Amino acid sequence: MIHSDTIAAVSTGMTSAGISMIRISGDQAFVIADQIFRGPGKAVAEMPSHTINYGFIYDGDRMVDEVLLSVMRAPATYTREDIVEINCHGGIAVTKEVLRVVLERGARLAEPGEFTKRAFLNGRIDLSQAEAVMDLIQSGSRAAMDASLRQLRGSLKERIQTDKDAILQTIAMIEAALDDPEHYDTGQEFRREIRKSVSAVYTDLKNLADTFENGRVIREGIRAVIVGKPNAGKSSIMNVLLGENRAIVTDIAGTTRDTLEESLKMDGLMLNIIDTAGIRETEDAIEQIGMERALSAVEEADLVIYVIDGSVPLDQNDHVIMDRIRGKKTICLINKTDLPTAVDVENIHHLLSSPVLCVSAKEHQGMEAFSEEVKKMFEAGKLQAGEETFLTNLRHYEEICSAVSSLTLAMDSLEKGMPEDFISIDLTDAYHALANVVGEDVGDDLIDRIFSTFCVGK
């Protein structure tokens, strides 16, 4: 047992709701609950594990609330400690009152993420699974939720463990050969065997690192920037996608002076849309600032939505925009197809080498084709299907990249005929980097920093 004190917190949102839940964890959980719970059955300490029991919470002789109380005995609990969960009515006042009574009987208010931290420290989950808990809570799309659930079930942990075991076995082979050179042949065949093992781990970790860009999109959403000339219909397109009049739309060029960001779910993915100021030559200082911000947003975007007014010919401003977005993932929307078309769609496709769709924001036409193009471009089906592990956490990505770098050095040393102990050092560095992913070698400062980002009660 890592901790001797008992903690408690509200594990549901502190807002008016049908039910609130106060969680108590620690070796005094049953003792504290026995002091405040009165029901028709046994004392809390005598209740069977993993049962729900009806009764009342009392503060001395005063009844506080009618509740359902759950009893869970260690080690088969979230924290591997004794846990009591009090399900009370969901008003803010009654929730605070039940928590106050619990704390006055000897529990300490839990720190942010302390329940999950105890689950990690008590060995129920590794650090990657603990981080997946918070990712699951914060997931804004079905794809993000599915990725977090896979990691919570141990998909990343198992993959990292397999590679760690392979590295450790290779290190053991090298150390055995160095300790007993009379019985080990460290010639070409031995080095080929070492390289084969190292190369297999390198390939797996490199493939895993390559999933990070897709994993980031899953976790954070697609950062999509709408650009175009003034009055092309950028704000109208944004309003149609959102299904509400979020952006101001007028016939006056330059209405949008700053960026406006909103989010929407699109077939399981999150699309974070940024509407920007129209790009054109102007002497207006404020409008110029808006255009600079628009171009800056383009540099950071995962997707550029380039809106062209299809009712007027292209001009120099369009070519300036196309020069700035070339090389970015782009979908071009030829807007105002309800009016006579004055642009060459095929020429635009040739200039951008990007999908070009004809739409009408006014008539709400063409948005289904846009949605399909986004899914195709970001392989939404692939991201959501199957059991593939995606890296979604920057810390994990950096540690795995560090392991890949160490394995690269090891393979270079093998090619150059360097002594085996040099190779062993690089393999040990790779092993420690992978151990950091699952929390085996991390320090207390990092652990505290990770769990401080959690909500209280989780």
Residues (pLDDT < 50) of the chain are 1-3, 247-258, 283, 381, 385-386
> Is residue 91 one of the residues assigned to a domain?
yes
Residue 323 and residue 397 in one domain:
no
> Is residue 458 one of the residues assigned to a domain?
no
Q: What is the pLDDT of residue 277?
A: 64
Sheet containing strand 222-228, strands side by side? 260-266, 269-275, 222-228, 303-309, 330-335, 356-358
Nearest CA among 216, 304, 218, 330 for reference residue 265: 218
| DSSP state letters, 237-279 | HHHHHHTS--S---SSTT---S-EEEEEEETTEEEEEEE-PPP
State the CATH number of the domain containing residue 162.
1.20.120.430
Residue 109 and residue 140 in one domain:
no
Residue 256 and residue 195 in one domain:
no
Residue 195 and residue 82 in one domain:
no
> 282 — alpha (psi -120 to 50), left (phi > 0) or beta?
beta
Last residue of a domain, one of 78, 96, 125: 125
Nearest CA among 255, 275, 254 for reference residue 264: 275
> Is residue 339 one of the residues assigned to a domain?
yes
pLDDT tens digits, 140-193: 777 788 888 888 888 999 999 999 999 999 999 888 877 766 666 667 788 888
Residue 151 and residue 244 in one domain:
no
Residue 378 and residue 395 in one domain:
no
Range of the domain at 236: 220-383
Residue 168 and residue 234 in one domain:
no
> Is residue 456 one of the residues assigned to a domain?
no
> Is residue 159 one of the residues assigned to a domain?
yes
Residue 354 and residue 412 in one domain:
no
Token pair for 134:
């918070």
> Is residue 424 one of the residues assigned to a domain?
yes
State the CATH number of the domain containing residue 58.
3.30.1360.120
Nearest CA among 195, 203, 205, 200 for reference residue 418: 195
d(CA 418, CA 422): 7
Q: What is the pLDDT of residue 377?
A: 83
State the CATH number of the domain containing residue 350.
3.40.50.300
> Is residue 454 one of the residues assigned to a domain?
no
Last residue of a domain, one of 103, 125, 147: 125
Amino acid at 158: E
Residue 167 and residue 252 in one domain:
no
Residue 230 and residue 375 in one domain:
yes
Residue 230 and residue 340 in one domain:
yes
Structural domains counted in the chain: 3
Residue 239 and residue 309 in one domain:
yes
Last residue of a domain, one of 125, 156, 175: 125
Q: Indicate the pTM of the whole model.
A: 0.76
> Is residue 398 one of the residues assigned to a domain?
yes
d(CA 166, CA 170): 6
Q: What is the pLDDT of residue 247?
A: 43
